[in-house]
Amino acid sequence: MKVTLEGITKVFPPHSKKESPVTAVSNFNLEIPDGKLVALLGPSGCGKSTLLNMICGLEAPTSGSVFFDENDVTKLPPEKRGVGMVFQNYALYPHMSARKNILFPLGNLKGKAKLTKEEKNKRMLDAARIVQIENLLERKPGNMSGGQQQRVAIARALVKYPGILLLDEPLSNLDARLRLETREEIRRIQKNTGITTVFVTHDQEEAMSISDIIVLMKKGVFQQSGKPQDVYDNPANLFVAKFLGTPAINVFKGRIEGGKVYIGDEAVSDVPGCGDREVFIGIRPEGFIPDKNGPLTCDFRSIDVLGRDYMIVAAHGEAEAPVIRAIVDSENKIEENPEKVRFSFKKNKFFVFDAKTEERIYVG
């Protein structure tokens, strides 16, 4: 099922006279293609959960419309939308076995949708098989690990054959190892079922590693969407560039004068076609090349060996952060403990952003 959001805005009224209304989502337009795994990504409070709740019908938009394929579902209640929802805290019934938890949503189907006992059991077993918990069906949630409980929650969402699966921070209650395992699991389940899936996360690595498409938002406003690698390689603005990647992109203050961009006194690159202005320069850690004749000079701090690569930690007066991090191939030799280290840059790893709008104006 394709999902289209057209000009969605959500304003929460103030809770008291002292508060102002909160615009959680602002004029949001998005098309989520059928059968894809899409991550809604952004910092805490940027409106991700509110947007997800408007897709499933738990919140009504203040303005704008939600379409499933060509059908306007904006005014439909959640139970009529055919969506499966999985929350961060699983929300399983503690006194029921996994089997009963999974069967539960089938109990209140009415009319034509009503199922026989055999049909219900078959659906329950199919869902349990997809998430690989057939051998745990008699256990209650309290006797299962967080990852197993999350699988039961996903099975419970799948059992109604939803057209869309919505997951709100499904991994945040799990420890690091289980997070990794469970995210692969979600990817596998999504691939096997082909259900259009939207999941909310503030973890860029999680989003980048399993999604077909990532959608970045900031303060309720759409920033950019696309395949993870494309967005990483072509950030539309400084926010997106900073949000994706570990270690984070290195950001410097600078200016453009006469077709060249300067960091401090050094002209670090030609920027053909860009007018004079104040800018930010973003350089990915893997975009630095140690180079005795390179255009950017930094104060050397230390070297961290990472195995195949190493990380040069350095500092620069115009850098936003106290240190900059350059990840370079161990074949690049630099002298031991130099005072200064100079860099040139790899292609497509060097970005220039307008200081006022923070829009990207150049890729080097």
Among 8, 26, 39, 47, binds ligand ATP (CB under 6 A): 47
Tell whether residue 39 is a contact of ligand ATP (CB under 6 A).
no
Measured from the CB of residue 102, what is the shortest distance to ligand ATP in angstroms?
26
Nearer to ligand ATP, 48 or 349 (CB): 48
Interface segment toward ligand ATP; rule CB under 6 A; list 44-52, 137-145, 265-273, 299-307? 44-52
Q: Could you count the other beta carbons within 10 Å of the beta carbon of residue 120?
A: 18
Q: Which of 4, 6, 12, 218 binds ligand ATP (CB under 6 A)?
A: 12
In sequence order, the β-bridge partners of residue 55 are none
* 137 vs 8: CA distance, rounded Å: 40
Q: Does residue 247 have a cis bond before it (omega within 30 degrees)? A: yes
**Bridge-partner residues for 31, per DSSP?**
4
Contact region for ligand ATP (CB under 6 A) — 38-46, 148-156, 246-254, 347-355? 38-46
DSSP codes joined into one string, 4-35: EEEEEEEEEPPSSTTSPPEEEEEEEEEEE-TT
Beta bridge partners of 166: 85, 198
Q: Does 202 bind ligand ATP (CB under 6 A)?
A: yes
Region binding ligand ATP by CB under 6 A among candidate stretches 43-51, 123-131, 246-254, 294-302: 43-51
Q: Does 48 bind ligand ATP (CB under 6 A)?
A: yes
CB of 282 to ligand ATP, least distance (A): 24
3-state helix, strand, coil in the chain (%, to 5): 25, 35, 40
Q: Does 254 bind ligand ATP (CB under 6 A)?
A: no
- Looking at the Cβ atoms of 157 and 217, the one nearer to ligand ATP is 217
CB nearer ligand ATP, residue 219 or residue 255:
219
CB nearer ligand ATP, residue 22 or residue 248: 22
Question: Which residue from 47, 3, 51, 48 is spatially nearest to 164, judged by alpha carbons?
Answer: 3
**CB-nearer residue toward ligand ATP: 137 or 208:** 208
Residues numbered 69-98 forming contacts with ligand ATP, rule: CB under 6 A: none
Residue type, 21: P
Q: How far is CA 163 from CA 44, 62, 139, 150, 184, in A?
A: 28, 24, 28, 20, 21
Give which of 308, 292, 311 is closest to 248, Cα–Cα: 311
In angstroms, how far is CA 134 from the centroid of its own chain? 31
Of 41-49, 68-76, 118-126, 252-260, the window that binds ligand ATP (rule: CB under 6 A) is: 41-49
Q: How far is the CB of 19 from ligand ATP (least distance, A)?
A: 8
Q: Does 324 bind ligand ATP (CB under 6 A)?
A: no
For β-strands 277-283 and 288-290, DSSP reports them as unpaired
Helix, strand or coil, per DSSP, at residue 172: coil
Is residue 207 close enough to count as binding ligand ATP by CB under 6 A?
Answer: no
Q: Is there binding between residue 135 and ligand ATP (CB under 6 A)?
A: no
Q: By CB under 6 A, tell whether 221 contacts ligand ATP.
A: no
Size of the site for ligand ATP (CB under 6 A): 12
d(Cα 359, Cα 354) in Å, to the nearest integer?
A: 6
Q: Any idea how long the chain is?
A: 364
Token pair, residue 180, equals 């990794």
Residues 16-35 that bind ligand ATP (CB under 6 A): 22, 24
Nearest CA among 264, 239, 245 for reference residue 254: 264
Q: CB neighbours of 191 closer than 8 A, spacing ≥ 6?
A: none
Per CB under 6 A, the segment of 48-56, 61-69, 126-134, 311-319 that binds ligand ATP is 48-56
Q: Considering the complex, state which of residue 168 and residue 354 has its C-beta at the smaller distance from ligand ATP.
A: 168
Q: Does 49 bind ligand ATP (CB under 6 A)?
A: yes
Rounded CA gap, 317 and 340, in Å? 13
Which one, 172 or 193, has the nearer CB to ligand ATP?
A: 172
How far apart are the two ends of the chain, measured CA to CA in Å? Answer: 39
**Interface ranges with ligand ATP (CB under 6 A):** 12, 22, 24, 42, 44-50, 202
